[in-house]
Chains A and B, each alone.
Chain A
Amino acid sequence: MRFVPISSDQRERMLRVIGVESAEELFADVPASVHLDRPLALGEPMSELELVSHLDALARANTPASQLVSFAGAGCYDHYVPSIVDHVLRKPEFFTAYTPYQPEVSQGTLQAFFEYQTMICELTGMEVSNASMYDGATAFVEAALMACRLTKRHTVAVARTVHPEWLATLETYAASGLFEIEYVSGEGLTAEDEWRAVADEHVAAFLVASPNYWGALEDVEAIAPLAHEAGGLAVVATNPVLLGVMEPPSSAGADIVVGEGQPLGNPMSFGGPGLGFLSCRMQFVRQMPGRLVGATLDADGNEAYVLTLSTREQHIRREKATSNICSNHALNALAAAVYLASVGTDGLVDVARVCLNRAHYMRDRLLETGRFSAPWDAPFGYEFALVYDGNVRAMHEEMRSRGYLAGVIAEDAGSGGTDLVVFAVTEKRTRAQIDAFIEEVAAL
């Protein structure tokens, strides 16, 4: 396969215009000592047909969750994606375009971002959203850094109940020495007393997820005021589908709201690419990381869109930028916007309502079997954690052989290392599937 639309005759002509005999002459600046004197060890080119067969074989060597009865979540969810979403993403004017630095020929991308920003504000209840980040974990870290800049403090208090991979990411960034982490623990939910204990004049922000890693809903309404009393900010991570029916973190006192946007119209794709969303109060906009689109007028007075407040960004501010981020997850943000337009307000409420009800139904039924028990009593959305009475790994493997993904096995650091199973129930799981799963797992 090759994608070079230039014939050898044309190439000869080009070399003559340049004034060289051969293409090799153009590499004269490459020192002989580093000039590769062998072909790369990569194998022979493939025809498109050969390539398709090869990739198909690799794909078939997997058993995708989407073709199992999957109750796996833990940060990546098997929601239904309406057909229209991918048809929009496949438009070459969207996916083959670069960052909209030339707004006169990028109004499509810019307006789509503007609409995305509006939708995220509607979901989170915040006043401003950027045009997306890499993923939930990095949006979470960027929110911590943002809070440090805003408060000129260098310690963040973080709930242990946040997704462990997000915490690991935060710790990696903290190794730079730019900020320190204090952990706040609790069983299933963080304890209010523990937050109180870290609420001092050093704390830049409280970072909490609701729903948290275990699916439980934290008491943001109690936690956020403690951060504020200490002069810090409240950063809340949340699930965007749940916001169809759950009060937005803004009304519970959040200053910055972040999360993983994959549930909105993006396939699981082995965990990436999804998108991170980051939204905040307008007063903090100048410390936001990432791209922002604003409305303005063109020279003829027509309404139009443009990247704005760029003086925050690396290509202008270099080492003084709010972040080193250069790209966003544009196409994933587009997917989220098309998804939200496709389901609409009522549709999102429906999806959330169905997920919630089925998850609550499933949890009750699992508890009734006597094989599962609740490690704590906390409200939850469409994901919940249970203790299995038996060998949890053997159960998971057996159910997998029967065509199920029996949730995600997770070690609970808070309760002394017990293995829990975290179940997520999306609108794709029917009552019949739930009932069949429960019947089989109970009989093990």
Chain B
Amino acid sequence: MTERLAHTPDGAPTRGPRGTIFEQRSVRAQSDVVAQLDVPELPVDDMLGGRARENAPELPNVTEVQIARHYAHLASMNFGVDTGSYPLGSCTMKYNPRVNEDAARLPGFAGLHPYQPESSVQGALRLMFELQEALGEIAGLPEVTLQPAAGAHGELTAIMCFRAFHEHTGDARSRVIIPDSAHGTNPATVSMAGYTVTQVPSNGRGGVDVAALRDALDTDVAAVMLTNPNTLGLFDENICAITDAAHQVGALAYCDGANLNAIMGIARPGDMGFDAMHINLHKTFSTPHGGGGPGSGPVCVTPELAPYLPGPVVARTDDGYGFVVPERSIGRVRSFFGNFGVLVRAYAYIMGLGAQGLHEASEQAVVSANYLKARLCAAYDVPYDRTCMHEFVLSGMRQRREHGVRTLDIAKRLLDYGTHPPTVYFPLIVDEALMIEPTETESLAELDRFVDAMLAIAQEAQAEPEMLKHAPYTTPVRRLDEARAARDPQLRWRPTE
């Protein structure tokens, strides 16, 4: 580190933030003309009924050259899937095929207005219909809404459908059961849908404690929400007993589809007894995460629940395709039809890979995860040492106990090795958790590079634990003072006096 710094010339630009776009010196006397006014000009204040703005908003005033440089620099401080290994558990950071990007930008898709006549959007409707069919087939739950904008939004949509289903039959319920290994969105969704959460523990093998589940189940339970494979990366071998137990008391079974990448063409949540699931198109179906979105969270359900889906959905009509609203629809969960641009990408991915390609992708994702686990299990604790699916969870407890090095330190040190860290401190039931999901799109060389880094860090934890506690050293910025950010929130740029 010191050598790099020692040979950096004075005044060399920092690799970290260099000031906001608001601080760029303005060289633009006036804006480039977007459009010339070609009609008689009226006073703005008259047109707006006396609502003209006194002071214009203070936006950056820069040239395109400055914008290009600014965002090139911002991009240089980011790590993406194209930068290197991104084994973020439960996030499925697989490669984003470029042809899908081009597809979403075709004028025939990107230029569509949502209220065009259906006759003028038949290609888009066919794409949506075929995507509904494909997702229904993959999930084993044939009825599909493409409307939800993200996974959490899909969860909420499904739980709202469950409420409508129970209320329609005069059987209103108040609780939803969730295992202690669940994603944070699950309990938050339950609250937002007006239910209370009952948590059940996991058993010694990392699955749901079925006896505890049975104890918690009664006719006041609306649903059991599960992720399968679960957040430990384990396939719950009791899955059919679990969904059966739910059905016996009239509850419905919900599958959080975050981990679908393990089982495409191998097992289907519908066949496991689930009544509904959401699918994260931005995980399993390769649409880009975009720095946090847009995602898309279609919901697949049984025919029994189909009447409650949000509308409209796409159906075949006499002369092509059209929108229909299900009979007892819960209504809308957003405006328009969903994140169509994301749907185009996912559709392209499914059509490109076909049944065979999806199956191969899942199988390789599982092989790659098991390979990493086999190579890392000697250096790190494996709290549930079973064959995993597409991801697995290690614990940094040994490093913490023996050397005072925490999982956070390990994660930060990985950055110095050019790898994005795994998901850390989740699931909550594993202390010092490191949740690792390589995905099928990492080469063996990349997987080995990740293993080498993890093994080297295990060595470093022993030899120089203090060094790890201050990692990373090579990133655009060092560890951040998060407490300071929360204590005195600076949430927008302001000019200095």
Which residues on A sit within 8 Å (CB–CB) of B12? none
Which residues in window 344-386 of A have CB below 8 A to B?
A: 344-351, 353-354, 356-358, 360-361, 378-381
Q: What does DSSP make chain B's interface, helix, strand, loop or mixed?
A: loop
On chain B, the residues within 8 Å of A104 by CB distance are 412, 415, 472, 475-480
Q: CB within 8 Å of A: which of B14-48? A: 14, 16-17, 20-22, 28, 30-42, 44, 47-48
Contact size class for B?
35 or more
Whether a CB of chain B sits under 8 angstroms from the CB of A245 is yes
A324 touches B334 (CB 8 A): no
Contacts of A103 in B (CB 8 A): 477, 480
CB of B59 within 8 Å of the partner chain: yes
Of residues 176 to 195 in B, which have CB atoms within 8 Å of A's CB atoms? 184-185, 187-194
Task: Tally A residues with Cβ within 8 Å of B.
Answer: 207
Does B20 lie within 8 Å of A331, measured CB to CB? no
Residue A143 is within 8 A (CB to CB) of chain B in the complex: no
Q: Determine whether the beta carbon of A294 is less than 8 Å from that of B353.
A: no
Is residue A420 contacting chain B, with contact meaning CB distance below 8 A?
no
Bound state CA distance, A302 and B41, in angstroms? Answer: 49
Binds B, one of A180-188, A191-199, A226-234, A332-340: A332-340
Do A247 and B124 touch (CB < 8 A)? no
Say whether B326 faces chain A, with CB atoms less than 8 Å apart. no
Q: Interface with B: A47-55, A201-209, A436-444, which one? A: A47-55
Complex CA gap A95/B107 in Å reads 20
In chain B, positions 357-411 with a C-beta closer than 8 Å to chain A are: 357-361, 363-364, 366-368, 370-371, 373-375, 386-387, 389, 411
Q: Is the CB of A305 within 8 A of B80?
A: no
A246 CB to nearest B CB, Å: 5
Closest to A105 in B: B79
- Find out whether the CB atom of A345 lies under 8 angstroms from the CB atom of B187: no
Contacts A26-B367, A94-B80, A356-B47 given; does A248 touch B112 at CB 8 Å:
no
B150: CB under 8 A from chain A?
yes
A306 within 8 A of B: yes
Interface presence of B456 (CB below 8 A): no
Q: Enumerate chain A residues within 8 angstroms of B478, measured Cβ to Cβ.
A: 104, 298-300, 302
Given A59-B107, A84-B67, A324-B189, is A247 in contact with B52 using a C-beta cutoff of 8 Å?
Answer: yes
Q: Are A63 and B120 in contact (CB under 8 A)?
A: yes
Q: Is A255 an interface residue (CB 8 A)?
A: no
Query: A105 to B288, alpha carbons, bound, how many Å?
Result: 18
CB <8 Å contact, A350 and B33: yes
- CB–CB A40/B358 < 8 A: yes
Other-chain residue from B77, B341, B358, B479 in contact with A108 (beta carbon distance below 8 A): B77
Query: Counting CB contacts under 8 A, is B303 at the interface?
Result: no
Q: Can you list 23 contacts pairing A with B, beta carbon distance less than 8 Å?
A: A29-B236, A29-B237, A39-B356, A42-B138, A91-B75, A92-B80, A92-B82, A102-B411, A104-B479, A109-B292, A114-B492, A114-B493, A118-B22, A127-B492, A137-B335, A165-B335, A270-B336, A298-B480, A317-B188, A330-B294, A353-B37, A358-B39, A428-B35
**Which 7 residue pairs of A and B lie closest in terms of their CB atoms, listed nearest first?**
A271-B336, A59-B108, A379-B49, A66-B111, A61-B123, A64-B111, A271-B114
